[in-house]
Amino acid sequence: MSAAADFHIRPATAADVPPINAIFNHYIATSTCIFHDEPVSIDWQRRWFAEHDDKHPVFVAEARGEVVAWASLSAYSERCGYRHTVENSVYVKEGHAGRGIGQALLRQLVDAAEQIGHHTIVALITADQPVSLALHEKFGFEKVGHFKELGHKFGRWHDVIQMQYTVP
């Protein structure tokens, strides 16, 4: 069985909010890829999910009935001039990396952005996340900015790389 054959991607539903929340909170506790200091509540995650719609989809990767990753396109800014720009997020559950799940989800996001009619996808990636940087480069995202000491977590400052993909 190929790595891609042991999971499938589908649009997320409200029933997926608890596993999305668990994956998100894992990264809050263990990584610099999210600049929250404390876990977010399930109610916070439900509000986040409710803010997503047809123009800002959320997808999950499911393996054997379990949500093992999620990805989303979120509004980049509330200002109307940015309405064709979205920010992407991709998070894979611990123990499921290296199976092509993140790559498949990012492909889904890029394809969705094109179908929806978005013009630009922005990714803000902590500089100490080389796997995420390489994944985005593989999909044609270009480094367009390097913010020095933009985020603070775990008692230290972190640089953030801004990457951009222009939808063809």
pLDDT tens across 87-122, in order?
999 999 999 998 999 999 999 999 999 999 999 999
Residues 6+ apart with CB under 8 A from 63: 6, 7, 8, 96
For 144, counting Cβ atoms within 10 Å of its Cβ (0-12 exposed, 13-18 middle, 19+ buried), the class is: exposed
pLDDT-derived band at 5 (thresholds 50, 70, 90) equals: low
pLDDT-derived band at 168 (thresholds 50, 70, 90) equals: confident
Number of neighbours of residue 85 by Cβ within 10 angstroms: 18
* Fold observed for domain 3-166: Aminopeptidase (3.40.630)
- List the domain boundaries for the chain: 3-166
For residue 1, is pLDDT > 80? no
The single residue listed with the structure tokens 């200091």 is 37
Its pTM stands at 0.94
Q: At 120, phi and psi to the nearest 5?
A: -140, 140
Residues 6+ apart with CB under 8 A from 60: 9, 10, 11, 12, 16, 19, 20, 67, 69, 70, 71
In whole angstroms, what is the distance from residue 133 CA to residue 131 CA?
A: 5
Provide the pLDDT for residue 142.
98
Q: At 92, phi and psi to the nearest 5?
A: -110, 135
pLDDT tens across 126-151, in order?
999 999 999 999 999 999 999 999 99
